[in-house]
Chains A and B, each alone.
Chain A
Amino acid sequence: MQMDRHSHLWRNAVAMPTVSRVAVCGGTHGNELAGVYLVRERLKRRADGTEPVSVVTVMSNPRAVQLCVRYVETDLNRCFTRATLSAPVSETSPYEMIRSQELNALLGPKGSAQAVDLLCDLHNTTANTGLCLITYSDCDWICLHICKHLQREMASTPVRYVHFDIPLNEAYSLDSVGKHGFAMEIGPQPHSVVRSVIFSAMQEGVQLMMDWICQFNSGTLFEGGWVDVYTMVKNIDYPRDSETHVITAAVHPNLQDRDFCLLHPGDPMFLSFSGETLRYKGKEALYPFFINEGAYYEKGIALSLARKRRVEIPSVRSETLR
């Protein structure tokens, strides 16, 4: 009976190419330190060539890391759209634009057969998000299975799958360069600080991802199931003074740190500096995340809102082995 069931699963599993080349990138934002120190640690222990999967470890924005700032001239993680990657560069182009094209040559080119199979980009946030895998696809079975694996194996860290519904050409972040890719985002951690438990969670997340890939490449069949996917719907800005554009309220204490807790119409969202409560005026209950991310004040984002839905994922196996 077991053999029949196994053969049945095997025949019905989706066969996918092996994930032979992986990139682990940190310091894409120079002040998100767990990724910076994880990349440094990985570079110290260079591979002895016996791993079943080839991994390249990259410090994405070395100048920003050196200065411990998010970016030097422009946000590197917004430089990976097709337009920016194909624009002509000169010595006077912003540093990050030049760097994005270097990374695209190293790990891509984006959209081509030479691109790495999987790109994992390490990030931190000041928001209380736990661990999130952030991608542009809600049907990338590799990414969804990796998420499921992390959820199963990481006992003390909530793991969630966040989806931005943007076509590949307009996808602007580094992870879109790989054939499969995601940002591994962990919070809360202040920028320019490394917290030991956050570093450990990121190290564990990367290790579990590598374990899954090795098992997958060796022919393991991963049974399907379902994953909750949070799809980004819209951003909400802070209330601002109409003339000076300065913010006039902070995220409300009832909402602060409550990433992925359902926000209902009428729930408090902001507390003004003079003490008034401002409420969520949307008609649809949605899931907030990236609540009070420090780097997003200048982008006009206090929080993002997502819809949650259950996505069925098929069983998968590597196509090169029978």
Chain B
Amino acid sequence: MALVFLPALARMAVCGGTHGNELSGVYVVQEMERQWKEKGECAWPIPVTTVLSNPRAVKECRRYIEKDMNRCFNRATLSSPITDSSPYEVRRAHELNNLLGPKGSTDAIDLICDLHNTTANMGLTLIHYTTSDWVTLHICKYLQTKLTKVPVRVLVLDVPISDAYSLESVSKHGFSIEVGPQPHGVVRADIYTIMKEAVDLTIDWIHKFSSGMVFEGGDVEAFRFIKSVDYPRDPETRTLTAAIHPQLQDRDFCLLKRGDPLFLSFSGETVKYEEEEPLHPFFINEAAYYEKEIAFHLGKKMMLTIPSVQVQKD
């Protein structure tokens, strides 16, 4: 297979607390800051910036104060001027764009790794906006080989970068590390450990890549987002009339076929999947998505082929 030469990655950022109640990321960043205080630049083999993305939301242990910060990084929001009435998270998004971007410019940091938790049973899921970033896809492949105790999956949201609204779209390369299941407002030791290992392995990959190691290409299995499905709701009050069916609950990334149960109403009726095309559900019963009218997402499995890569020598 042909070898592709890619520019070096000078610096990466690890961001936690983008949602203030997703606690593994908050404590990974806290621990990394402690390590930096103790060892300075020697804490890691490559330069790493750690960021607590939404400090006010972290302090109050809420997802956000006024507006979901992880929806504030699209070009429209970043280019609108800040006024007195701008929500806190929009101001903070501008600050983070100055610190880690500007998005789309050559000054932007090379890699952002944004840490998230979900109440859904998604194991470790690496989320990207594009199917053609060889760096982040190689990192995914590396994590899949090294992390054996938890399923490691790749999720692709095929959105053009300028429309991309989340924090990791600010850097040249970016992805989110999503680990679940963990209730919001809770930190579980097992989930924290998985997230910390994923960050350490990402740093490890960049170090090896920068040192000239060749990473063999191959196929990476990924799931592409197709659409979302909402809960059955009362037409007047909009409150839920059903919960995720026990046979679907916790079965993220399984194959959903026509006739499979989706919801069990509070009065005992089953609602089934009626579509012809079998798809894979994920983010099943994520707490923060009730208000976004999402019970789960559906995706299609696909194979991405990535080339062997090596760092470009000057």
Which residues of A line the B interface, CB within 8 A? 37-38, 40-41, 68, 126, 188, 190-197, 199, 246-247, 250-253, 256, 271, 273-274, 292, 294-295, 297-298
Contacts and interface: CB of A to CB of B under 8 A. Distances in A.
A194 to B, nearest CB: 5
B293 to A, nearest CB: 14
B192 A273 contact: yes
Interface residues of B, number: 35
Nearest to B263: A196
A199 B243 contact: yes
B186 A126 contact: yes
B83 interface: no
A273 B27 contact: yes
Contacts of B287: 190-193
B240 A194 contact: yes
B184 A294 contact: yes
A199 B188 contact: no
Contacts of A253: 189-190, 193
A170 to B, nearest CB: 28
Nearest to B183: A190
A252 B187 CA distance: 11
Interface stretch (B103-111, B125-133, B214-222, B244-252): B244-252
B87 interface: no
A126 B196 CA distance: 22
B189 A251 contact: yes
B30 A195 contact: no
A294 B189 contact: no
Contacts of A41: 266-267
Interface string B193-220: 1001000000000000000000000000
Contacts of A294: 183-186
A40 B264 contact: no
A252 B189 contact: yes
A295 B189 CA distance: 17
A44 to B, nearest CB: 8
B66 interface: no
B185 A297 contact: yes
Contact of B30 (A37, A188, A256, A273): A273
A256 B190 contact: yes
9 contacts: A38-B266, A191-B287, A193-B183, A193-B290, A194-B243, A247-B187, A250-B187, A273-B31, A295-B185
A188 B250 CA distance: 13
Contact of A196 (B28, B190, B249): B249
A299 to B, nearest CB: 12
Contact of B61 (A40, A126, A196, A298): A298
B162 interface: no
A247 B190 CA distance: 16
Given A199-B266, A252-B189, A298-B61, A191 B243 contact: no
B239 A196 contact: no
B246 to A, nearest CB: 5
A246 B23 CA distance: 12
A192 B243 contact: no
Given A193-B183, A197-B249, A199-B266, 11 more contacts: A41-B266, A126-B186, A193-B119, A195-B249, A195-B285, A247-B27, A250-B192, A253-B190, A256-B190, A273-B30, A274-B31
Interface in B113-145: 119
Contacts of B267: 41
Contact of A191 (B185, B244, B266): B185
Interface of B: 27-28, 30-31, 34-35, 61, 119, 181, 183-190, 192-193, 196, 239-240, 243-246, 249, 264, 266-267, 285, 287-288, 290-291
Contacts of B193: 253, 271
A196 B27 CA distance: 31
A154 to B, nearest CB: 16
A276 to B, nearest CB: 12
Contacts of B264: 196
Which of the listed residues B244, B287, B291 has the most CB atoms from chain A within 10 Å of its own CB?
Answer: B287
A195 B243 contact: yes
Contact of B183 (A126, A247, A250, A273): A126
A250 B188 contact: yes
Nearest to A40: B239
A277 to B, nearest CB: 10
B56 to A, nearest CB: 15
B183 A37 contact: no
Contact of B186 (A194, A252, A274, A292): A292
- Nearest first, the 7 closest Cβ-Cβ pairs linking A and B are A190-B183, A294-B185, A192-B287, A273-B31, A250-B189, A196-B243, A126-B183
Given A190-B184, A192-B287, A197-B246, A37 B266 contact: yes
A190 B191 CA distance: 15
A250 B240 CA distance: 33
Contacts of B244: 195-196
Contacts of A246: 30
A256 B249 CA distance: 21
Contact of B184 (A191, A196, A247, A256): A191
A174 B279 CA distance: 46
A247 B188 CA distance: 13
A150 B187 CA distance: 32
B189 A271 contact: yes
Contacts of A250: 27, 187-189, 192
A193 B244 CA distance: 10
B184 A192 contact: yes
